[in-house]
Structure 1
Amino acid sequence: MITENIIIDTDSYKASHYLQYPPHTQYIHSYLESRGGKYPYTRFFGLQYLLKRYLSIRITREMVQEAKEMLEAHGEPFNHAGWMHIVEQHDGKLPLEVRAVPEGSIVPTHNVLMSVVNTDPECYWLVSWFETLLMRVWYPTTVATQSHYLKGIIREALEKSSDDPEAEIAFKLHDFGSRGVSSQESAGIGGLAHLTNFMGTDTVQALMYGRRFYNTPMPGYSIPAAEHSSITSWGKEHEVDAYRNMLTQFAKPGKTVAIVSDSYDLKKAINEHWGTTLRDEILESGATVVIRPDSGDPAAMVRMTVRALDAKFGHTINSKGFKVLNAVRVIQGDGINEDSIREILAVLLGEGYSATNVAFGMGGALLQMVNRDTLKFAYKASAGIIGGEYQPIYKDPVTDPGKRSKDGILDLVKRDGKFETLQGKEFGRYSEDSLLRVVYRNGDLLIDESLEDIRKR
């Protein structure tokens, strides 16, 4: 049994497409773009993973046979001769060239992000075949884009209210999304996409993907933190003992520990347990204790928690005139999205508290509540060589002008501070100042970067 047959990682109807192109088709050029959507730009990420994990696999006779048997039984024709040509003439390496913007780049929507062309005229049909697989770069790109956009919202609040925004921003949005996604793969590459912007995560698969596919030994960090089961296992009568145990185990000088505090009565937990019984232990520990209110309206709960902690622990005033709590902080991990982040920050700053006091934990909304139409991703053919002649390829539906695709040999440049997609007519000829790099050719990954390289962009 073949464990990873990339031939059959496609859509059924792709199997018949080699018979649908015009006679004497030799080359096809396709491209990827965001046609707009929720954000005005994309932060491109995840292609290296797809190329390294999947398109670097060599095609074998066994793969071809398995795909033939499956697709023909499924009701589709199969290009057995074409795939065997790849096995025999290319030693199983895919005769494709992929050009793309550097990962981590911020590119306005409606611009080419990636192009794909065949390098063997016998394999023109291959460019479309792998649309299904390559299109999946939409997912990590969308997660990275959303995360980057939220970072901008948080950064703005920090710049208004914090003494050192750059030192704080990296850990202000923590990934709790692993349990909220549909697969281990989504957790891995989606969680790593978030780490192009931030450094905090509880998604262990993201760490593994960073190590395996992006040359980064440790992409992100976490801290000891309580969950409801570890607190409530002590029983309601011993809630304070559960909290004291957290301090005993983890509240060391210079360390940080997070403790969920709404298992029974959040106000009582803050005012009696944290603010009275355990107050001196917290102050003497030298640690930062992060209280997690969790349930309830996010903005209201954070405001109540910050106010209550301020009454018990006090605050200092920073250089920008905002209050910073002593020894304690707050993290809100329930109901976090763009709207609630904006509301929480507006409430805190409106009451004179620095954004230093709060961090956010985001789960399903970060890694799962996105889809291909969040940024309207499309992978389309835009040019071909047919019978030795250049042929523009595009669609222009009267019923939806927004879906008009680009034609030509596409390239991306930045001139006078503005991105521009160029539409040429000559295969293999690109601008000298092109932002697209050849990242893959004929089965080989040509650029293999670290997450740190990408973060720097």
Structure 2
Amino acid sequence: MSPQSILNLADSYKYSHAGQYPDKMVSNYTYMESRGGAYSELIFVGLQYYLATYLSERVTKIEVDIAAGKAKLHGVPFDYDGWMYIVKEHKGKLPVLIKAIPEGTLIRTGLPLLTVESTDERVPWVAGFVETLLMKVWYPTTIATKSYHTRKMLERYGSKEWAQFAYHNFGDRGSSSVESAAIGGFAHYTQFMGTDNFNSLDMALDYYKHKDMPAYAVFATEHSTTTSYGRNGEEEFVYSQLLKHPDAPIMSFVADSYDVYEFTNFCTAPGSRIRKLVESRPHQKFILRPDSGDAVEVITRMVSIMRGNKLHSFKAMSTDVLFTDFGILWGDGITPKTIELILGVQLANGFAVENFVFGSGGDLMQNVTRDTQKFAIKCSSITVEDTSILLQSDPPQTCLRDIDVYKDPITAPGKKSKKGKVTTYKNSTTGTFTLGLVGTIPENCTEALELVYRNGKLFNSPSLAEIRARSI
């Protein structure tokens, strides 16, 4: 069975839920929300990938047979007849309707981000079965949210042009899987234009209608290439690479293989051949990349050396020194808080923030969990045939009744779930979002959730350009 088959992609206990709902249930309605967390507003991103990759595939009889055998050995019930009904009557496509907030939308927490409703009364439990898969949207949404708020912080310190390249993604190697690196990498560059996550580029090209390069990187050295020339060959190595790449607009050199301050000096000292070559190329910028030690202390000493060497510079923001040909990239242990600390200190020292860019790996891509934004998917309504009404009807007729479904644990009030067929509305006058019920439209509002999936077909698929435009 394909690892991408939806039959493989639910928590084990989900396989037993088909027989646990009321016998007369004909429809099931669930919703996703962020119940709060590190940020009060979030950027919804990533759903399109999961729909296209996992919910566009057809379930086959062979897959049902294999899954049924696995479930039996695993110790959980399996609705074989229900799944075979999906195979035969729906040609293996899931009978659910999914609506979602448009990707890239900035929205406050506590509101439905997506809803799932079953569309076939024979298998209404399928709306709950897809929870495990759809919940994975927490990851790209949290990465995009973190990136958005980091970008906004950077824009408070410097120009938007600088900010879009000032938080580079170094997180591929530290990601938990190839797929999570691609998904998280894509989520990051919905907010930025720089990444070292080559693996993530196809996400935009294959799933988000992007025709051009979605994000960019630069020539960069590492410790193994630098130290392969030996300590005494470090300066020669830098110079030789500059000679080999005369047209590169940006060249980044790791600076702390041995003595980061000595490296800073021989690259920027008056009369040094490296400095002369760099300054002779107005199209090229030289980036020094220290990679160890206390960030504030190391950077402060480096810029002091650079200022003492009288590098070409001009005054940005009337008083702050901005070097023309050289800059610094710090990528060790970077978090949004350390970025703000570094920028604050260097501004106080008289240096423009545009002298500095940052790379983040582990914190950006891995220092998040589903609880960072308290994501949850909950059933909020089911529809049942009301037999008590049916018995009173003459002639008999089908009567349906919606039942509110919610939890309200006394031990965790923050986990109280919403009830009814909830959705999110957008006020056309103020642009604000509000909670509501399907069919009960507040004044001046329209439903903010769009149809994205119905019975195996995708709708309103977003492009990367649209996502970026929504989250400016």
Aligned match of 1:270:
264
Aligned match of 1:161:
none
Distance 1:431 1:324 in 2: 49
User: 1:58·1:91 contact (CA, 8 Å) conserved in 2?
Assistant: yes
Q: Which amino acid aligns with 2:197?
A: T
Farther-moved stretch of structure 1 (198-207 vs 269-278): 269-278
Distance 2:225 2:443 in 1: 59
Deviation at 1:410, TM superposition (A): 1.2
Aligned match of 1:396:
408
Aligned match of 1:248:
243
Aligned match of 2:314:
316
Aligned match of 2:220:
225
Query: Any stretches of 5+ residues in structure 1 without a counterpart?
Result: 159-164
Deviation at 1:43, TM superposition (A): 0.4
Aligned match of 1:282:
278
Q: Which amino acid aligns with 2:149?
A: Y
Q: 2:363 aligns with which of 348, 354, 365?
A: 365
Q: Which runs of structure 2 are paired with 1:146-225 in the superposition (5 Å)?
A: 146-158=146-158, 165-217=159-211, 218-225=213-220
Q: Which runs of structure 2 are paired with 1:2-401 in the superposition (5 Å)?
A: 2-158=2-158, 165-217=159-211, 218-252=213-247, 255-276=249-270, 277=272, 278-286=274-282, 287-312=284-309, 313-387=311-385, 388-401=400-413
Percent same amino acid among aligned pairs?
38
Distance 1:230 1:430 in 2: 64
Deviations 1:44-79 (A, max 9, x none): 000000000000111111111111011111011110
Residues 383 and 431 (structure 1), Cα distance of their counterparts in 2 relative to 1, 3 Å cut: farther
Distance 1:58 1:226 in 2: 46
Q: How many residues align structurally?
A: 449
Report SS of the residue matched to 2:217: coil
TM-score normalised over the length of structure 2: 0.92
TM-score normalised over the length of structure 1: 0.95
User: 1:11·1:132 contact (CA, 8 Å) conserved in 2?
Assistant: yes
Distance 2:338 2:317 in 1: 27
User: 1:100·1:437 contact (CA, 8 Å) conserved in 2?
Assistant: yes
Distance 1:191 1:140 in 2: 8
Distance 2:453 2:444 in 1: 19
Distance 1:251 1:121 in 2: 67
Report SS of the residue matched to 2:113: strand
Distance 1:432 1:449 in 2: 22
Distance 1:76 1:151 in 2: 46
User: 2:328·2:355 contact (CA, 8 Å) conserved in 1?
Assistant: yes
Aligned match of 1:423:
437
Aligned match of 1:408:
420
Distance 2:244 2:367 in 1: 36
User: 1:27·1:118 contact (CA, 8 Å) conserved in 2?
Assistant: yes
Residues 56 and 432 (structure 1), Cα distance of their counterparts in 2 relative to 1, 3 Å cut: farther
Report SS of the residue matched to 1:93: coil
Report SS of the residue matched to 1:433: strand
Report SS of the residue matched to 1:272: helix
Report SS of the residue matched to 1:154: helix
Please give the root-mean-square deviation of Cα atoms over the aligned residues, in Å.
1.8
User: 2:221·2:254 contact (CA, 8 Å) conserved in 1?
Assistant: yes
Distance 1:344 1:385 in 2: 56
Deviations 1:262-305 (A, max 9, x none): 10001111113442532211211331001111111112222222
User: 1:408·1:425 contact (CA, 8 Å) conserved in 2?
Assistant: no
Report SS of the residue matched to 1:352: coil
The answer to whether the aligner puts 1:455 opposite 2:468 as a matched pair is: yes
User: 1:251·1:289 contact (CA, 8 Å) conserved in 2?
Assistant: no
User: 2:406·2:416 contact (CA, 8 Å) conserved in 1?
Assistant: yes
Distance 1:274 1:283 in 2: 10
Q: Which amino acid aligns with 1:144?
A: A
Report SS of the residue matched to 2:173: helix
Q: Which amino acid aligns with 1:413?
A: Y
User: 2:167·2:360 contact (CA, 8 Å) conserved in 1?
Assistant: yes
Distance 1:225 1:113 in 2: 40
Distance 1:397 1:424 in 2: 25
Q: Which amino acid aligns with 2:432?
A: K
Report SS of the residue matched to 2:327: strand
Report SS of the residue matched to 1:394: coil
Deviation at 1:251, TM superposition (A): 4.3
Aligned match of 2:459:
446
Q: Which amino acid aligns with 2:164?
A: A
Residues 8 and 431 (structure 1), Cα distance of their counterparts in 2 relative to 1, 3 Å cut: farther
Distance 1:195 1:341 in 2: 18
User: 2:425·2:445 contact (CA, 8 Å) conserved in 1?
Assistant: no
Q: Which amino acid aligns with 2:280?
A: E
User: 1:262·1:295 contact (CA, 8 Å) conserved in 2?
Assistant: yes
Deviation at 1:203, TM superposition (A): 0.5
